[in-house]
Amino acid sequence: MFGNKLQISLYRYNPEEDKFPYMKKYVIDKPERDIMVLDLLNLLKEEDQSISYRRSCREGVCGSDGMNINGKNGLACITPISEVIKRNKIELRPLPGLPVIRDLVVDMTEFYSQYEKIKPFLQNETTAPEQERLQSPEDRDKLDGLYECILCACCSTSCPSFWWNPDKFVGPAALLQAYRFLADSRDLKTSERLESLSDPFSVYRCHGIMNCVNVCPKGLNPNKAIGEIKSMLHKNKKDIIASDGA
């Protein structure tokens, strides 16, 4: 339809100028080689300084540039345009479910406060040895697939349960981290951690929709971690599950 042109439909909103957000169309020559969505945004920004988005590492490890790309959350810097172009078109929107500050920049306060809520730090009050605390490679392996989270929020903002209850449902990202500490052989606050997650909302609002797994740019599986938390809760407190009205 556009031949050698690429049409980008970009979510624009500047609270100082716009009453409502709107989609703005940009048409550019199709880049000669396959570039990342972030490169595409950088090209647009060279033409229009006013476009706003976050970015830092440009290699998929800092988690700054999570956004909604043709309907699916992902990191702009590691998403090649060839994978997302549909009929020479790309649509870019901010991560869904969080307030928009400007253009593709969302207010992540709620997301971070859920992360802080799970006490994302090792808790071990015993006197530390002079050297490291020992951990077997098998126990260390249990942290793989958990600690690698980059807090990009792609998962939590693709989760309908998080959209509905962002203040009460901890969300897949923070639950993945909750399990990262539950699974760590060095952490001694297992029962306190479980206790704080045992209400009907924190964990149990997860209904296994699996959007989180589908979008995680690091290939992690929050749904599996949530399942592990649920079975730990089940083991400890069968009564909680029985009384769950959700």
Partner 1 sequence: MNNINTIEFDALIIGGGGSGMRASLELAKSGLKTAVVSKVFPTRSHTVSAQGGITCAIASADPNDDWRWHMYDTVKGADFIGDQDAIEYLCSEGPKAVFELEHMGLPFSRFENGRIYQRPFGGQSKDFGKGGQAARTCAAADRTGHALLHTLYQNNVKEGTNFLNEWFAVDLVKNSKDEVTGVIAFSIENGEVAYLKAQATVLATGGAGRIYASTTNALINTGDGLAMALRAGYPAQDMEMWQFHPTGIYGAGSLVTEGCRGEGGYLINKDGERFMERYAPTVKDLAGRDVVARSMVLEILEGRGCGENNDHIFLKLDHLGADVLNSKLPGICELSRTFAHVDPIYEPIPVVPTCHYMMGGTPTNISGQAYTRIDNEDHLIPGLFSAGEAACVSVHGANRLGGNSLLDLVVFGRATGKHIQEELKSGGGVTSATKGDIDASLERLNKLNESNSGFDTADVKKELQECMQNYFGVFRRGEFMKQGLDQLKDLKQKVDNLHLTDKSDAFNTSRVEAIELQNLFDVAEATAISAYERNESRGAHARDDYPDRDDENWLCHTIFDPKSKLVTKREVNFNPSKVEAFPPKVRTY
Interface with partner 1 in residues 25-54 (CB under 8 A): 45-46, 49-50, 52-54
Please identify which residue in 59, 167, 192, 199 interacts with partner 1, judged by CB under 8 A: 59
Q: Is 239 in the site for partner 1 (CB under 8 A)?
A: no
Please identify which residue in 1, 4, 16, 19 interacts with partner 1, judged by CB under 8 A: 16
Min dist. Cβ of residue 21 to partner 1 (A): 13
Residues that contact partner 1, how many (by CB under 8 A) = 55
How far are the Cα atoms of 63, 72, 102, 116 from residue 76, in angstroms, in the given order?
10, 11, 17, 26
Q: Tell me the DSSP string of 145-191.
A: TTTT-----TTGGG-HHHHH-TTTS--HHHHHHHHHHHT-TT---HH
3-state DSSP assignment of residue 202? coil
Q: Is 137 in the site for partner 1 (CB under 8 A)?
A: yes
How far are the Cα atoms of 199, 202, 244, 245 from residue 233, in angstroms, in the given order?
10, 12, 12, 16
Instruction: Please report, as ranges, the residues that interact with partner 1 according to CB under 8 A.
Output: 14-17, 45-46, 49-50, 52-64, 78, 80, 101-103, 105, 108, 112, 116, 119-122, 124, 128, 130-137, 140, 143-144, 147-148, 150-151, 181, 184, 186-187
